[in-house]
Amino acid sequence: MLTVLRNRAFRNLFTAQVTALLGTGLATVALGLLAYDIAGPDAGSVLGTALAIKMVAYVALAPILTALAGRLPRRALLISADTLRAAVALALPFAGEIWHVYTLIFVLQAASAAFTPTFQAALPDVLPDERDYTQALSLSRLAYDTESLASPALAAALLTFTTYNWLFLGTAAGFLASAALVLSAALPKHTPTTVTPRRRLANLRADIRHFFTTPQLRALFWMDMAVATAGALVLVNTVVYVREHLDLTTADVALALGAYGTGSMTAALLIPRALGRLSDRRLMLTGALSLPAVHTATAAITTAPTGTWRWPALLTAWCAFGAACSTVLTPAGRLLRRAAGTPEQRTGIFATQFSLSHACWLLTYPLAGWLGAAAGLQAAVTALGLLSLATALLAVHAWPKRATEQHHHAEEHIHTNLPPAHPHLTDAIAVPTGFRHRHTLHPDSLHTA
């Protein structure tokens, strides 16, 4: 996997991604503590709204910014996004009102919504060999998992001798380092896209229809929702649990978030071996179905009035949440890749899953924050637990066992009722009865079971 780092351009881009992720992780810890300083026990509500704003930026702005990114110089766009994010990070410590936080978070996430798709689109050009590109994707995923563990640990160490405001300085340093690394990377010449808005909209509709008519992908959507219930509870309410409910220190907030990252990282390292013995379906559904059980344990911790056992129990629950979420998310790319017949479809399917999964967080972030502030932590845990149970069961129903092994072989077939410009026909050959091509088959609106 590490051989791909011999490519200097990718090595610089990957290092830029890692430094930006570490900066983002420090900001996550600092933002929670800033919210607690401003709103006290209502910090969950502030964080829930701030993170919902992040999802609005990702869901609403990402498609627009992705289209613009195809028409602009990549290097300039990436550096501009990093510079803007650094400026926002430096401004956050001076936020004295809640609306200041919301405005700055929106600007920060709008810049991230421009950076992320541009970065992802550059990788296939930097690494044209599919094997190298696959290794790059694996490294990228590992970077996300490592950040979820390393950032809270680094934040906890820094908070032992400084205040949380200095964490924002670390965030800005990470973004500026990312910009410098992008500047030093030799990116291949980029040809601006010529895809029209009408064609892009048609492709988006086709990708969404494909997503919800494929059993595995429909189940993935419900599992993404279950994962979002756990992630929202951890990210939004950790500061409330630690500072208000357990009356612990700011460093303990970082420690609790680190427990979540530890569970995620541990599961991610074990999953490749587990997939050698278990099917994707069995492993991912097991992860999804375990989430309601962890919610139940968290509810017991929440209702307990006193007891020193609550702190280690909370760390254990957060670790279990991280492991369960990683069990669902780590193999997800395999489902997405199998569901796409062509490289063009693969891009569309990955982009569709990105938007749909973030839409799940757009629901759960406010639910965790607003309900927790209005009715208490117990109400938030119960609501999120019931939602995780319902969506996990819907995932089981959407992904019957017989669909696991069906349609996993490439088969030549002819489409007789698709227009020539349809995105699915990119690699098809015109024949008298329609368009013929060959790819792995899955039951969807274009290929009936």
Give the model's confidence band at 333: pLDDT under 50 very low, under 70 low, under 90 confident, else very high.
confident
Query: Is residue 30's pLDDT more than 90?
Result: no
- Over residues 380-419, the pLDDT tens digits come to 999 999 999 999 999 999 998 776 544 445 567 777 777 7
The CA distance from 290 to 268, in Å, is: 16
DSSP code of 240? I
Kindly report whether the global pTM for this prediction surpasses the value 0.75.
Answer: no
Can you list the domains of the chain with their CATH numbers? 1-187 (1.20.1250.20), 197-405 (1.20.1250.20), 410-440 (no CATH)
Least confident range of 113-117, 418-422, 432-436: 418-422
In the chain, % of residues over pLDDT 90: 23
Chain mean position to CA 63: 16
Query: Is residue 230's pLDDT more than 60?
Result: yes
In the chain, % of residues over pLDDT 70: 80
What is the pLDDT at residue 233?
94
Query: Is residue 216's pLDDT more than 80?
Result: yes
To the nearest 10°, report the CA torsion of 407, 408, 414, 419: 90
Query: DSSP labels for 127-193?
Result: --SHHHHHHHHHHHHHHHHHHHHHHHHHHHHHHTTS-THHHHHHHHHHHHHHHHHHHHS-PPP-PPP
Give the model's confidence band at 1: pLDDT under 50 very low, under 70 low, under 90 confident, else very high.
low
Give the model's confidence band at 315: pLDDT under 50 very low, under 70 low, under 90 confident, else very high.
very high
Query: Is residue 180's pLDDT more than 80?
Result: yes
Query: Is residue 66's pLDDT more than 80?
Result: no
Mean pLDDT highest for which of 29-33, 191-195, 360-364?
360-364
The mean predicted confidence, pLDDT, of the chain is: 80
Give the model's confidence band at 379: pLDDT under 50 very low, under 70 low, under 90 confident, else very high.
very high
What is the pLDDT at residue 136?
73
DSSP code of 411? E
The number of beta carbons lying within 10 Å of the beta carbon of residue 342 is 16
Give the model's confidence band at 196: pLDDT under 50 very low, under 70 low, under 90 confident, else very high.
low
Give the mean model confidence (pLDDT) for residues 113-140: 73
Query: Is residue 189's pLDDT more than 50?
Result: yes
- Over residues 248-273, the pLDDT tens digits come to 888 888 889 889 888 887 887 788 78
Give the mean model confidence (pLDDT) for residues 335-349: 66
Give the model's confidence band at 221: pLDDT under 50 very low, under 70 low, under 90 confident, else very high.
very high
Map residue 273 onto helix, strand or coil. helix
| Residue scoring higher pLDDT (296 or 362) | 296
Specify whether the CB–CB gap between 233 and 298 falls below 8 A: yes
The CA distance from 88 to 102, in Å, is: 11
| Residue scoring higher pLDDT (310 or 143) | 310
Give the mean model confidence (pLDDT) for residues 192-208: 65
State residue 440 phi and psi, 5-degree precision: -65, 130
Query: Is residue 445's pLDDT more than 60?
Result: no
Query: Is residue 344's pLDDT more than 60?
Result: no
